[in-house]
Amino acid sequence: MLTLNPMNSSFNKLLTFKTVITALMIIVFSINLLLIERVDALSDSRQLVLDAWTLVNEGFYDPEKFDEIQWKRIRQKTLQKQIETSEEAYSAIEDMLRPLDDPYTRVLRPKDYELLKSSNFGSEINGVGLQLGEDDDKKVKVISTLGGSPAEEAGIVSGDFIKTVDGISSEKLGLASTASKLRGESGTKVLVEVSSESGEIREVDLERRSVDLRPVRTKRLRDDSHTIGYLRITQFSESVPKKVEEALQELKEKEVEGLILDLRNNSGGLVSSGIAVADSLLSEKPVVETKDRNGIKDAIISQKETSFDGPMVTLVNKGTASASEILAGSLQDNERSILMGEQTYGKGLIQSLKSLGEDSGIAITVASYLTPKGNNIQGQGMTPDKLLDLPDASDYGSTDDKWVRNAELFLGSLLEKEEAPVQTIVLNNEEIKSLND
């Protein structure tokens, strides 16, 4: 009986050893699973960076910039950073894009991506109603304010500078992040420090809300002599060309003799929509030339049919930018419409919006545009045929809008000149008839 004890002891030791080994294997296997999951997460985050680099590499309008900033080396250095989360990936992409020195080529986090898509395709947007750009000194500048928005009601105007947002310098944030911090859920507030062009600084507490974009507005203006149509376009979203067609048809049914096209504080939107509106007003004329990484492409030519062919005046100001400058430039260069107002903003770069991952995106400057006569708008803007040295109206298109009244008087004079030869011919015919009698 005593001889069994050593065997039991050996067996127990073996059993204990096996148990320990099994436990260690389970622990190692569990750690491996965690490592695999972590590697997968890293791969997803790094893939965002790689995808962003590839999209910019294939589409950016100025590939010569890549050699100047050592673009491939930037990719390598970026991927050496710690990138474990989506937020770290977005920050890495921002750092990677900064040497391009183009504020319009930017990463769009999920919230910003959704808001930008909704402004291009929808009829309202949540925020304070500011359209922003950058000046030559990289200061964040107000291009325009949306009608009926918190920013407009607070007296923020085109040409103002955004100094801080909730205490953070816009210089530190950059254009994209400044715009992002101004957006948010309805009812939330944001404190903005604004500087006027004269240097006056003030703080404005803005409450975000849903802003009705109402991109197309129209009415009929009548006096003792003529009936004039008024058409205001506040931005170029996907629905605008169709709405403009409907508005022009409505005005034609009201027998308007001339048209005032109001593009004041229209900061742009979808370039394709701006071109489509130009197509409605021009007959077989060049609309715009684009210059991408492969050089200047042939001008886009409008179709023969037009929705309105009567005399026109187009109102522009320093808040008129991008797609609205394409439209204004095409009308001016083809002598289709007089431009009246102020020098326009001067944004002559075109962005393409690409999806990045499941819910984020990236905007890439893919081309610059030129007017039909080859004028480059970027940084220069459009010069009106007739400058208006008048205060801008608080309510565009109202009876107190002196800009519209000036355009109305000018159109009236054009219409009277057109009528004069006809009246002379009628009188001559009557005189000939009386002589024959």
120 assigned to some structural domain: no
Query: Of the candidates 181, 212, 243, which is a domain's last residue?
Result: 212
Please tell me the distance from the alpha carbon of residue 119 to that of residue 129, in angstroms, as a whole number.
11
Per-residue pLDDT reduced to its tens digit, 58-91: 999 999 999 999 999 999 999 999 998 999 999 9
CA atoms within 13 A on the CB side of 316: 33
Query: Of the candidates 174, 193, 212, which is a domain's last residue?
Result: 212
- 151 shares a domain with 84: no
432 assigned to some structural domain: no
* CATH code of residue 81: 3.30.750
- 385 shares a domain with 334: yes
424 assigned to some structural domain: no
- 351 shares a domain with 231: yes
Residue 168 sits in which domain range?
Answer: 125-212
Q: Is 347 a catalytic residue?
A: yes
What's the DSSP call for residue 423?
Answer: H
106 assigned to some structural domain: no
Our CA dihedral for 136, 232, 117, 150, rounded to 10 degrees, sits at: 70
Please tell me the distance from the alpha carbon of residue 70 to that of residue 183, in angstroms, as a whole number.
34
428 assigned to some structural domain: no
How many domains in the chain?
Answer: 3
- 241 shares a domain with 95: no
- 69 shares a domain with 9: yes
Number of neighbours of residue 90 by Cβ within 10 angstroms? 23
Among the options 333, 360, 368, 392, which is catalytic?
333
- 316 shares a domain with 273: yes
Residue showing tokens 């504080």: 265
Write b or e for each residue in 237-271: b if 16 or more Cβ atoms lie within 10 A of its Cβ, otherwise e.
bebbbebbbebbeebeeeebbbbbbbbbbbbbbbb
Please tell me the distance from the alpha carbon of residue 337 to that of residue 84, in angstroms, as a whole number.
55
Residues in the chain: 437
**Token reading at 265:** 């504080």
Look at residue 16 in the predicted model and tell me its pLDDT. 52
Give the three-state DSSP class for 146. Answer: coil
Look at residue 426 in the predicted model and tell me its pLDDT. 40
Among the options 86, 144, 177, 322, which is catalytic?
322
Max Cα separation, the chain? 156
* CATH code of residue 164: 2.30.42.10
Write b or e for each residue in 352-373: b if 16 or more Cβ atoms lie within 10 A of its Cβ, otherwise e.
bebebbeebbbbbbbbbbbbbe
The phi and psi torsions of 280 (rounded to 5 degrees) equal -75, -15
Burial class from Cβ neighbours inside 10 Å (0-12, 13-18, 19+) for residue 380 reads middle
Picking from 346, 285, 271, the residue whose alpha carbon sits closest to that of residue 316 is 346
Look at residue 125 in the predicted model and tell me its pLDDT. 56
Query: Of the candidates 212, 228, 244, which is a domain's last residue?
Result: 212
- 259 shares a domain with 161: no
Among the options 347, 360, 392, 401, which is catalytic?
347
276 assigned to some structural domain: yes
CA atoms within 13 A on the CB side of 3: 0
- 283 shares a domain with 187: no
pLDDT along the chain (437 residues), means of 10: 42 47 45 40 79 96 95 95 92 95 91 73 64 80 83 89 93 83 87 92 91 83 88 92 95 94 91 95 95 87 94 94 95 97 92 88 93 91 94 82 94 81 41 39
- 237 shares a domain with 379: yes
Please tell me the distance from the alpha carbon of residue 310 to that of residue 296, in angstroms, as a whole number.
32
- 359 shares a domain with 305: yes
239 assigned to some structural domain: yes
- 235 shares a domain with 186: no
165 assigned to some structural domain: yes
**Token reading at 49:** 């960076």
- 406 shares a domain with 309: yes
Q: Is 322 a catalytic residue?
A: yes
Predicted TM-score (pTM) of the model is: 0.74
**Token reading at 133:** 């750009």
Q: Is 205 a catalytic residue?
A: no
Rg over alpha carbons for the chain, rounded to the nearest Å, is 31
* CATH code of residue 352: 3.90.226.10
Please tell me the distance from the alpha carbon of residue 150 to that of residue 126, in angstroms, as a whole number.
11
